[in-house]
Structure 1
Amino acid sequence: MSDTVLIPGGRDVRATLDTAASDGGESKRDGDARADAVVVACPPHPQQRGHRGDERLTAASDALTDRGIDCLRFDYGDWDEGYGESTDADNAVSWAVERYERVGLFGFSFGATVALVTAASRPGLAGVCALAPTARLNPDVDAVAALDGLVDLGVPTRILYATRDSTADWEPVVERAEELGVETQAFESDHFFVGRAADVGETVAAFFGPRLGGDM
């Protein structure tokens, strides 16, 4: 089951909340009832047609809801060179924190960098998983620097990357993650994980499952 959500804040940010199904196939939601945990999913670059219906985000959502974890996929507001988009992610996390006991953060490409930077100021997050992050969106949205903050906060973090990725500047992120002891995982793929979306989704859900209390 999916619902449209308007994220509070000064920007027009709309989201889709995918809710987990119970064993009987019915939505866990009953009025205000919902799963105990949610993952907020950040889409890729909005100027490159990135949106909340991205194949990698929907694959992750499908795998998460199968494990009893809700997923909030959102679209950014008007383009703001990474600044407003980071604010959008933080506002989406705020919305989730008010409604769920445990919250995780996931993003792909541009959204992966947004997720890492946002998570670095959120000590209560259950985890952050970044798929094909680029090192920097602007001077203040820096995934490499965010990794140090995440380690200091003790937020569980995993970096997923593609070995044939020639689109994102992912190498500095992976190198710093490995220096810090942050988990990384490689896919034999290109930046868009063509034909691997389901594998990506399962990998993301496997990371969040034990941290968010979902089914294994």
Structure 2
Amino acid sequence: MADPILVPGGRDVRATLDRAAEETPADAVVVACPPHPQHNGNRTDARLTAVSDALSEHGIDCLRFDYGEWDHGYGERADTLRAVEWARERYDHVGLFGFSFGGAMALLSAAEGADVDAVSALAPAPRLASDLDVVAVFDQIHIPVQVIYGTRDDIVDATPIVECAEEYHQSVVEFAADHFFVGQHGKVATAVSDFLVPLLQDEESR
């Protein structure tokens, strides 16, 4: 079941809440950040929906949202933080996921202090501006992090973030894939859920 959501915060941020089950409300949710909105990135992105489907199998909801009006990464980071706040008010456990530009948003928001339990970034952009630099703030992320990247990615060079993740003993997953992980969405979604699910479930649910 999917519910339309309007995320409060002063910008027009619309979202879809994918509910894992109708009978028993989930106590965990993952906020999913889409890729670059100026390149048609939105909440219907195939990688986001694949992750949502994988999480649903484990009883975890997913909030897929669209950014408000383009603001060069600044408003989009604020949108991500507001989406997390919305989720935290309603769930005991909150995770964060993003793809490409959305991966950068997820990591930058975690560094900014987003109240999440874990973050997974797929092919994250390392730097959007001098003060939107994931590498520069990676050491400010004090929760479990997963970085997934494709070895054939010729659009985003995630190497600097991968090196940061390895330096801080965070999880790194490598796929023999291009930037869009063509034909491998299911495998990517499994990798994301395998990482996030144990971190978002209460011990008695594991």
Give the TM-score of the pair, scaled to structure 2. Answer: 0.95
Given that 2:33 and 2:80 are in contact with CA atoms closer than 8 Å, whether structure 1 keeps it comes out as yes
1:163 to 132, 151, 157: 151
Partner residue, 1:136? 127
> Secondary structure of the equivalent of 1:166?
coil
CA–CA separation in structure 2 for the residues paired with 1:63 and 1:200: 10
Candidates 34, 52, 57, aligned match of 1:43: 34
Aligned: 1:10 with 2:7: no
Q: Could you tell me how far apart the structure 2 residues matched to 1:58 and 1:124 are? A: 23
Instruction: Name the CA distance, whole Å, in 2 between partners of 1:3 and 1:106.
Output: 19
Residue in 2 that maps onto 1:213: 201
For structure 1, the residue ranges without an aligned partner over 5 or more in a row are 22-26
How much has 1:121 moved relative to structure 2?
2.5
Residue 182 (1) aligns with residue 170 (2): yes
Shift of 1:79: 0.5
Does the Cα contact within 8 Å between 1:20 and 1:28 map onto a contact in 2?
no
Quick check: 1:58 aligned with 2:46? no
SS at match of 1:76: coil
> Structure 1 vs Structure 2: percent identity of aligned residues?
55
Question: Do the aligned partners of 2:81 and 2:114 also contact (CA within 8 Å) in 1?
Answer: no
1:47 CA displacement: 0.4
Aligned residues: 204
Q: How does 1:79-118 map to 2 (within 5 A)?
A: 79-118=70-109
Aligned residues of 1:127 and 1:208 also touching (Cα < 8 A): yes
Match of 1:120 in 2: 111
Q: Considering only aligned residues, what root-mean-square deviation do their CA atoms show, in Å?
A: 1.3
1:119 offset after TM fit, Å?
A: 1.0
Q: How far does residue 113 in structure 1 lie from its aligned partner after superposition?
A: 0.3
Output the CA distance in 2 between the equivalents of 1:16 and 1:135. 27
2:195 counterpart letter in structure 1: F
SS at match of 2:112: coil
Per the TM alignment, residue 123 of structure 1 is displaced from its structure 2 partner at its CA by 6.3
